[in-house]
Amino acid sequence: MFRRFFAIPLWQRTAAGFALGIIAGLILREQATIWLQPIGDVYLNLIRMVVAPLVLFTIASSIAKLGEGVGAVRLGVRTIVWFAVTSLLAVLVGFAFGHIINPGVGLSDLPLGEVKAREIPSPLQVLLGVVPTNPFASLAEGKVLQIIFFSALLGGALVALGDRAQNARRLVDEGAALIFRITRWVIQLTPFGVFGLIGSVVGGYGWEALLPLGKFIFAIYAACLFHIFVIYSGLLKLHGLKVVSFFRGGAAAMQTAFATSSSLGTLPVTLRQTVERLGVPQAYASFAVPLGANVKMDGCGAIYPAIASIFIAQYFQIDLTLTQYVLIGLTAVLGSLGTAGVPGTSIVMLTLTLSTAGLPLEGVGYIIAIDRIIDMMRTATNVTGQMVVPVLVAREEGILNQDIYNGHVAWLPGDPEDETPEGAQAAGI
């Protein structure tokens, strides 16, 4: 029975958990939080458990491998450029849908929710915050950007020491293999976690909380879906890649992101799908995907601030100028880098955008009540972009395993659990 269950593709099992969670939430109503939320919480705790060691071992291992090639810097630059390009496209999509749907027109007397003040760090604070004073404390506290920084240094040291660090490199590679094995076990529980998380959300929210801001919710969902299925699909087609293959390979990560509303919480699933289902080499994906989980926020950092700014301007009957649009766009594209690692990225990004554009900050309080509902779609968009960019870069660099991408091969050559020189070469590493 268990073998038959696990033989079903993960995305199909996750979709079933998603559907059953909706049904259970509708049946249990307010009781869903009591009965279903603990299931989701256990799953989230398991996911969070593997994030820090996964980032540490996989990035150190990937930097060590990439450092041996001549294209490591080029890969990094291409990745950052594509992060910026797709974020700019996301801002334009947000502007377009904000004006097509006009979510703030005709509204008045919306209830004002409580907004907790959040300090927006200066660029210097962000830079200083990336460097850990104690890497072990960073691991314990789950500060992913600091872990990435330390892991990159560790990988660079392995390259610099060469043969003298063979044992240390073997230890790092074996650590990556171990944490990948644990991650696969945890990921098999995704359908149950999605069941609990979605069920508690459906049961906990009443229609009365959603109806006043229905147009705003619709604008966010419509813009995000357009960005995912039109913009991302267009970029994949321009690179000669099958769109269906991408969504089949990335479906489990997108579903998990929607249920958890956390890019970092989805990171183990995103990395696993990017490598094993989308054919991106392990050495490159282990660098690009964790970085993207921190700074690649097309939903939270681009589409959402753009539409929310238009909504707030319309609600307060303010006509936005061209200068304000430019400021909103620049803030959205660059702001994710500046707020990377800050808790509550979406609210911080919106506050930063409104401040830059000179719009009323109290507008945040009018949409805070439905933040969890729109956060699911924003995060799914974030995670989709975090998979699309490595796929595009790998395709441009000629290292994408298209047999894996198109579903012709079920296992990636060069996987850390089956590392051989021949396998690594076949994977483009």
- Can you give 24-77 as a three-state secondary structure string? HHHHHCCHHHHHCHHHHHHHHHHHHHHHHHHHHHHHHHHHHHHCCCCCHHHHHH
- C-alpha distance from residue 210 to each of 110, 183, 215 (Å): 12, 36, 9
Average pLDDT value for residue range 253-266: 89
Given this model, what pLDDT does residue 424 score?
Answer: 35
Average pLDDT value for residue range 38-49: 88
CA 208 and chain centroid, separation: 30
- On whether the CB atoms of residues 279 and 404 are closer than 8 A, the answer is yes
Please indicate whether residue 4 or residue 377 has the higher confidence score (pLDDT). 377
Please indicate whether residue 428 or residue 206 has the higher confidence score (pLDDT). 206
DSSP SS3 for 103:
coil
- Average pLDDT of the chain to the nearest whole number: 83
Given this model, what pLDDT does residue 73 score?
Answer: 76
Average pLDDT value for residue range 70-91: 86
pTM, entire model = 0.83
Least confident of 214-218, 373-377, 424-428: 424-428
Statement: residue 386 has pLDDT above 90: yes
Given this model, what pLDDT does residue 429 score?
Answer: 32
- On whether the CB atoms of residues 203 and 28 are closer than 8 A, the answer is yes
Average pLDDT value for residue range 351-378: 84
407: left (phi over 0), alpha (psi -120 to 50) or beta: left
Tokens of 305: 């601030």
Phi, psi torsion values for 411, nearest 5 degrees: -135, 140
Long-range contact pairs involving 164-172 (C-beta distance under 8 Å, separation at least 24):
169/64, 172/57, 172/60, 172/61, 172/64
Average pLDDT value for residue range 352-380: 85
CA atoms within 13 Å, Cβ hemisphere of 180? 21
- Other residues' Cβ atoms within 10 Å of the Cβ of residue 171: 14
Three-point CA angle 190, 181, 175, nearest 5°: 135
Statement: residue 416 has pLDDT above 60: no
Given this model, what pLDDT does residue 247 score?
Answer: 96
Given this model, what pLDDT does residue 379 score?
Answer: 92
Given this model, what pLDDT does residue 114 score?
Answer: 56
Average pLDDT value for residue range 69-98: 87
Statement: residue 373 has pLDDT above 90: no
Categorize the per-residue pLDDT at 1 as very low, low, confident or very high, splitting at 50, 70 and 90.
Answer: low
Statement: residue 398 has pLDDT above 80: yes
Long-range contact pairs involving 167-176 (C-beta distance under 8 Å, separation at least 24):
169/64, 172/57, 172/60, 172/61, 172/64, 173/61, 173/416, 173/419, 175/53, 175/56, 175/57, 175/61, 176/57, 176/58, 176/60, 176/61, 176/286, 176/416
Statement: residue 117 has pLDDT above 70: no
Given this model, what pLDDT does residue 427 score?
Answer: 35
Average pLDDT value for residue range 37-51: 88
Give one DSSP letter per residue of 10-24, joined into a string. Answer: HHHHHHHHHHHHHHH
